[in-house]
Homo-oligomer: A and B are copies of this chain.
Amino acid sequence: MNVIEVCLTPELIHQYTLQGKIAVVVDIFRATSCMVTGMAHGVKSIHPVASVEECLALGQQGMVTAGERGGIKVDGFTIGNSPFEYMQEEFKGQSIAVSTTNGTKTILASTDADEILIGAFLNLQALVDYITTQRKDVVVHCAGWKGTVNIEDTLFAGALASALADSHTLSGDAALLAFELYEANQSDLLKIARASSHAQRLSGFGVEKDIEFCMDQSLYTAIPTYNNGCLKVIS
């Protein structure tokens, strides 16, 4: 059996060894849900960058620019951070440069791993299928919110751990915590996701339909993976 660990926030990632493992980066509200959605709708590549300036520079080179700060679209970017914005027909075959508060930083802090996969409820089953074939240990790296633990990413980590129970044992109390949270709430994930502080913050921006969409399970089979500065779908 392989093991699955859970890192509840990027501020604790130094406690984990990523070498030789698969890192699954998750930022349910909304960065990784957007990435999966975009790739499922034909976006060619996504380039996560830390700063607004880097993002705008890639925009000058012809990329679509996307992202938020504090939940709000950045001035001058083509789109914000809603999965529905990533579904546009005109983005098919295009590259998107993206900078978000938490998700991008979490990807960039995972580069010690053998492989970085982008996880969301939207591609949960595809992740499970792929990971099962790889026979490697997994670290779920939750983006959280500005360094703090959040409910929705922890819930996803628990869902993945639960779905991988046949091939991966829980390692560490954070994984057990995530697993327990998921098991106790699996009959109504949306209810507890709505109670999360992130959902409460976002509800001020009128993105209730984003929240619901991001909690949909296994709508897509696309698994974005990070290599040489950009995300492409695993072929």
Contact = CB atoms under 8 A, between A and B. Distances in A.
A154 B172 CA distance: 13
Interface residues of A, number: 27
A148 interface: yes
Contacts of A218: none
A147 interface: yes
Contact of A180 (B8, B145, B173, B185): B185
A11 interface: yes
Q: Which of A8, A11, A195 has the most CB of B within 10 A?
A: A8
Q: How many copies does the complex hold?
A: 2
Contacts of A163: none
A12 B11 contact: yes
A173 B149 contact: yes
Contacts of A184: 180-181, 183-184
A177 B176 contact: no
A110 interface: no
A198 interface: yes
A192 interface: yes
A50 interface: no
State the 6 A-B residue pairs at the shortest beta-carbon distance, nearest first. Answer: A184-B184, A151-B173, A150-B173, A149-B174, A173-B197, A15-B148
25 contacts: A8-B8, A8-B149, A11-B11, A11-B12, A12-B12, A12-B147, A12-B148, A15-B147, A15-B148, A148-B172, A148-B174, A149-B173, A151-B176, A154-B173, A173-B196, A173-B197, A173-B198, A176-B196, A177-B177, A177-B181, A180-B180, A180-B181, A180-B184, A181-B184, A183-B184
